[in-house]
Structure 1
């Protein structure tokens, strides 16, 4: 290897910014703040803490905490110690957390005191964790809960004084793991997605470019840091020299308070997060544009249009845990300015093209032809599976070679998402393969139906699934949440939808519900809706 070539790693971002932006505010949380110089010092101390506790290169270190400075610092401290970060979803049940800790082989767990009740029941059954440290966030809720056998984080941190070895802000192999992110596991046990230093480094630049970050960026943490390492935004903001505003819990009132207080310029989240912000009582038109990068589900043209009116600049991206978060972006075209608001929003709701750091995205036929993947016609109507490859596709599923081989068959990552390729080279997501409704032999995209329902002025949120139908096999059903103060009439919604899409695609029924089941990242959990609707059918078949 050429000795003058440096291995890529996000660690280099903080090493640089600690010098270039030494006195600039890097992190804000409540009334406290850290400069870049202070952030680097705290990261070094935590890296020494981990090494003094016995963490060795390649060891896995788990964190269970919300969007607080300790979680942010861990994204640099853990790899600086030579270890691999395992950021755990804070909404998981104790047994799910236990599985991730055991499967990853984590030797250290750092947990926010708010989640002590998740860890306490599993302490005695953990296979590899030898040290548990509990942090108490001064901005968080007062917690008196104690994890058996755990130590206070301050005590754990004091161990840093025992480490005198030199810290190196570099890696010997850029393809070595920097983190393992576990999938949601809705169809079985979660899989550990391995990110590399190289992939995280490159994806960070994609975030900087497509979300227009710079040293003046003030980013509000509405996206969980544990989700795809916050789409690599933690590393990206440090590279850009921006300021990161931490937020323990996403509430409309708190989000608007921080937007106004800190003059926030950027935030990320799922469309449901955007809906929460736009419909909060505190919502108001912005004096300056706020860039909102949206992913997790295709935002409806209605949501995009409302956000634009409020003063939000929407950057629509698409990706999966296996692609470090965002992989494509709906890159703006100047010609769209001349379109009517509804048509412009429809163009922006597409998933777009590969980001600058990624290989071109493809939409391919379901079956291999002569052992090769074959692209569907770029006609905007022929449906196929979205596949990706390159630097921003995971290295592997941790300790699961069989699943890795299946996901990367043919040298491309198979997303399981169905979409079309438009003549202009932009892809459009139509559905997850498991969500497509087959009614009387016709495929119905739930996304298309959801967009039609969401365009009704009284609808705040919607989820569409297939439900049993004696004649057609299955038919669409819509679950809707009414806008605050609106009296939502199901019959009126159906009449509205029939005016926008083909009749066979129209939901058989509309059910008004107080809320939709969601993941911690704001994605609607359709499997819960399906389980309830198909329970009687399943019982009938088994009976």
Structure 2
């Protein structure tokens, strides 16, 4: 059985607002899809398939079917440009792309060799496919999710996968239970299902028996309504969603209550302590922060109580991980010293590889089982991990490191700042100086006086050398749908024509 035996087989298992599947229907559809992929399309175990699809039920069903059919599946970021989609399809070797009507043209423009349309065409294929039971001893599949490509072409990430479907079901359920996704009640998907965290967290919970509710797109008012009306137990949010929720009118926030909401996982981007404190004050101790990546999965975890006792931490390592900082030579640093963060998997020598890129894979490992996600930080005496920033984002001004995330967290606390990005720009004397790009909150207009007020506010919270020299006003900051700031787009205008980028 793919799912724990439901008390009510005809109850909702998967609902995207337009399409609803009962547990009975979902089990049969996943079996038929798996047989269609393997038997009708003749995709051998270990082959690749891709989806280019919005947040809808078929996207989830295709992922489940690929896992059951022993295939690698790549849910493609639908916001990529055609040439980027073409790169993903060519790099992965996906022979078949399952696309919805809104993205068929993009798949065609990217040169997809075979496109199957979600809707009537896919439904005919499902109806005609075998509904025979799946072989639990057959090979397990896996997701090969492409990194967002904010610093170059997207790279496919293949995590180590179990040998058989039976082993996979056990492993995926345990992965969910380890972070609180125990299937106890409905799970709300708020982010894009081409991204590792919202997709896999929801799949793990679903496999443990949690009905899945998928939002087609983020809307803060709709999210509050679903959390309340559907009795949601678990969800995943990113910090930009928290900021938007907190900017709702006071009366709307005061009226919200979701007593069955037990777990709100959040990560993917740094969160300002002031934002997190306000969310905990509003929603109570449901917030649980994690640190990890597409490559590693979840590495650390911290609940609200522990975070309040250790403000700013991203948690302690899960039992199968160890986290430590190293210096430029790769030597382990003492407790409390800042360096590149590495994570040791206690069981696996190679928790992941970058598809078809042995050189990039090798650069990610310090030694077998010890990998970096590119973050800089430290570990305290209690084992709590703290992040400074991405190594690639660090500003070096006059030989001193400035961590943009720290500066951003100070600036976002100003009432005029709706969103902010901090980055380094070239300076002949200092090498780099600190620049801020600010998206103003409603009711504020750019002015020299406001710029001075925001920078004075920053000086009250930061050392002088960390304070931006100036502010660029932006109508809207470029962010990936997962919440990550596309800092390269902000920096590039200042670094064009220069050989160096630091």
For normalisation by structure 2, the TM-score amounts to 0.88
Offset of residue 88 of structure 1: 0.9
Residues 321, 528 of structure 1: CA spacing in aligned structure 2 closer, same or farther, 3 A cutoff?
same
Structure 1: state its 5+ residue gaps. 1-13, 137-150, 337-343, 369-373
Is the contact made by 2:316 and 2:384 (CA closer than 8 Å) also made in structure 1? yes
Of 240, 243, 251, the residue aligned with 1:275 is 243
Report what 1:316 is aligned to.
289
CA RMSD of aligned residues (A): 2.7
Report what 2:70 is aligned to.
82
Equivalent pairs counted in the alignment come to 485
Distance 2:137 2:443 in 1: 55
Report what 2:117 is aligned to.
134
1:395 aligns with 2:359: no
Distance 2:169 2:314 in 1: 21
> How big is each residue's C-alpha offset from its partner over 1:196-215, in whole Å with a ceiling of 9 and x where there is no partner?
434896465344343x3344
Q: What SS does structure 1 have at the residue aligned with 2:212?
A: strand
Offset of residue 428 of structure 1: 0.8
Distance 1:465 1:414 in 2: 22
Structure 2: state its 5+ residue gaps. 163-167
Residues 366, 348 of structure 1: CA spacing in aligned structure 2 closer, same or farther, 3 A cutoff?
same
1:117 aligns with 2:86: no
Distance 1:89 1:31 in 2: 22
> How big is each residue's C-alpha offset from its partner over 1:446-467, in whole Å with a ceiling of 9 and x where there is no partner?
1111111122233222211011
1:509 aligns with 2:470: yes
Offset of residue 234 of structure 1: 2.9
Of 454, 479, 483, the residue aligned with 2:412 is 454
Report what 1:474 is aligned to.
432
1:182 aligns with 2:138: no
Where in structure 2 are the equivalents of 1:3-402 lying within 5 Å? 15-18=2-5, 22-30=9-17, 32-50=19-37, 51-123=39-111, 126=112, 129=113, 131-136=114-119, 152-160=121-129, 163=130, 167-172=134-139, 177-198=141-162, 202=171, 204-210=173-179, 212-228=180-196, 230=198, 232-280=200-248, 283-285=252-254, 286-288=256-258, 290=261, 291-311=263-283, 313-324=286-297, 326-333=298-305, 344=308, 347-356=310-319, 358-368=320-330, 374-379=331-336, 381-390=337-346, 394-402=351-359
Distance 1:262 1:19 in 2: 18
Offset of residue 348 of structure 1: 4.3
Distance 1:333 1:221 in 2: 25
Residues 423, 70 of structure 1: CA spacing in aligned structure 2 closer, same or farther, 3 A cutoff?
same
Of 372, 378, 382, the residue aligned with 1:414 is 372
Q: Which moved more, 1:98-107 or 1:27-36?
A: 27-36
> How big is each residue's C-alpha offset from its partner over 1:131-178, in whole Å with a ceiling of 9 and x where there is no partner?
311114xxxxxxxxxxxxxx9223333441xx4765213445xxx651
> How big is each residue's C-alpha offset from its partner over 1:386-443, in whole Å with a ceiling of 9 and x where there is no partner?
3343568643111222222221231211222111112221111101111111111111
Of 363, 375, 396, the residue aligned with 1:438 is 396
Q: What SS does structure 1 have at the residue aligned with 2:374?
A: strand
Q: Which moved more, 1:454-463 or 1:300-309?
A: 454-463
Distance 2:305 2:227 in 1: 28
Distance 1:421 1:433 in 2: 16
Offset of residue 224 of structure 1: 1.8
Is the contact made by 2:66 and 2:141 (CA closer than 8 Å) also made in structure 1? no
Residues 30, 235 of structure 1: CA spacing in aligned structure 2 closer, same or farther, 3 A cutoff?
closer
For normalisation by structure 1, the TM-score amounts to 0.82
Report what 2:165 is aligned to.
none
Offset of residue 499 of structure 1: 1.0
Residues 164, 22 of structure 1: CA spacing in aligned structure 2 closer, same or farther, 3 A cutoff?
closer
Distance 1:431 1:90 in 2: 27
Offset of residue 507 of structure 1: 0.9
Is the contact made by 2:3 and 2:208 (CA closer than 8 Å) also made in structure 1? no
Distance 1:111 1:485 in 2: 41
Offset of residue 111 of structure 1: 0.5
Q: Which moved more, 1:92-101 or 1:483-492?
A: 483-492
Q: What SS does structure 1 have at the residue aligned with 2:392?
A: coil
Offset of residue 502 of structure 1: 0.8
Distance 2:108 2:45 in 1: 28
